[in-house]
Chain A
C-alpha cells in the first residue's frame, strides 16, 4: 500500500520561499502523476499543480509565476517550492497522487504559516 509522507518548514516570513517534500513509500514515483493541494484557514481546497511520470509539470495560473514542482526518482520523492510567500499563502499543504483523475492517496498535511 502506497503511503505519502511530507515534510518541510512550517513557519516562514514574507518574501521567503516555501519548500515542502513528499516521500513515496511502498510504491514508485515513476509511472504515476503527483499533485500538491492547499487549504487556507476557513477556505476550500485549491489545486497548486502537478507533475507527471516524465517530470513534466503544470501549475495553477494564479500561482504559476511563483511555483515549481519537481521530482527525484532516485529518492522516490517530489517537491514543492513557492517563492516570495505572502500571508495569503498561509495554508495546510497536502501532497497526493493522481489516479483516474482523482486524488486517492494523500500525505498527512503540513501547516505553513507566513508571518513577519
Chain B
C-alpha cells in the first residue's frame, strides 16, 4: 500500500482558483469512485470537504469541488480565501476494508 501522490505545495492569490492532484493506481483511486478530501488546519482535526470523489457534505462551501479521471483525483478551490490556507489530504478506499491517504499538500494564499 503506497501513499497516493500529491504535490507538496500549491499557492494562489485571493480570488484565484487552484487545483490539487491526487495520483494513485487502479487498485485504489482508479478502482473505486471513493476518494475523499480533507482540509487540515494546524492543531485541529481534519475536516471532510469532499466524499465519493465529488460530493460535498452539508455545510461545506461550493467553492470546493472534486473530480476524477482514471487513477487521478483532483480538488479545486475556487475564489481562494485566506482561510483556505491549510493542508489538504486525499484518501481513497483501496478494497478489503482498507484505505490509503495521499502525501498531503500545503496550500498557501499569497
> Do A and B originate from a single complex?
yes
* A-to-B contact residues, CB < 8 Å: 35, 37, 43-47, 50, 52, 58, 60-62, 94, 100-104, 106-109
* B-to-A contact residues, CB < 8 Å: 1, 3, 6, 32, 34, 36, 38, 45-48, 51-52, 55, 57, 89, 91, 93, 96-104
Minimal beta-carbon separation of A55 from chain B (angstroms): 13
Query: Cβ of A45: which chain B residues have Cβ within 8 Å of it?
Result: 38, 46, 89, 91, 101, 104
Residue of B whose beta carbon sits closest to that of A45:
B101
Residue of A whose beta carbon sits closest to that of B3:
A44
Task: Report whether B51 and A58 are in contact in the complex, using a CB–CB cutoff of 8 Å.
Answer: no
Minimal beta-carbon separation of B68 from chain A (angstroms): 14
Most chain A beta carbons < 10 A, residue from B32, B38, B47, B89: B38
Task: Report whether B46 and A94 are in contact in the complex, using a CB–CB cutoff of 8 Å.
Answer: yes
A44-B102, A45-B89, A101-B34 known; A58+B97 contact, CB < 8 A: yes
Query: Cβ of B51: which chain A residues have Cβ within 8 Å of it?
Result: 100-102, 104
Q: How far is the CA of A89 from the CA of B57 in the complex (A)?
A: 32
A-B contact pairs, 12 of them (CB 8 A): A44-B101, A50-B97, A52-B97, A60-B1, A60-B98, A94-B45, A101-B51, A102-B48, A102-B91, A103-B38, A104-B51, A106-B47
From A47, A52, A58, A109, give the contact of B45 (CB < 8 A).
Answer: A109
Minimal beta-carbon separation of A17 from chain B (angstroms): 23
From B36, B45, B100, give the contact of A101 (CB < 8 A).
Answer: B36
Q: How far is the CA of A101 from the CA of B33 in the complex (A)?
A: 10
Task: Report whether B1 and A62 are in contact in the complex, using a CB–CB cutoff of 8 Å.
Answer: yes
Query: Cβ of B38: which chain A residues have Cβ within 8 Å of it?
Result: 45, 103
Q: How far is the CA of A103 from the CA of B48 in the complex (A)?
A: 7
Q: How far is the CA of A47 from the CA of B104 in the complex (A)?
A: 14
Q: How far is the CA of A111 from the CA of B34 in the complex (A)?
A: 29
Q: How far is the CA of A64 from the CA of B24 in the complex (A)?
A: 22
Minimal beta-carbon separation of B24 from chain A (angstroms): 13
Task: Report whether A103 and B100 are in contact in the complex, using a CB–CB cutoff of 8 Å.
Answer: no
Minimal beta-carbon separation of A60 from chain B (angstroms): 7
Task: Report whether B45 and A107 are in contact in the complex, using a CB–CB cutoff of 8 Å.
Answer: yes
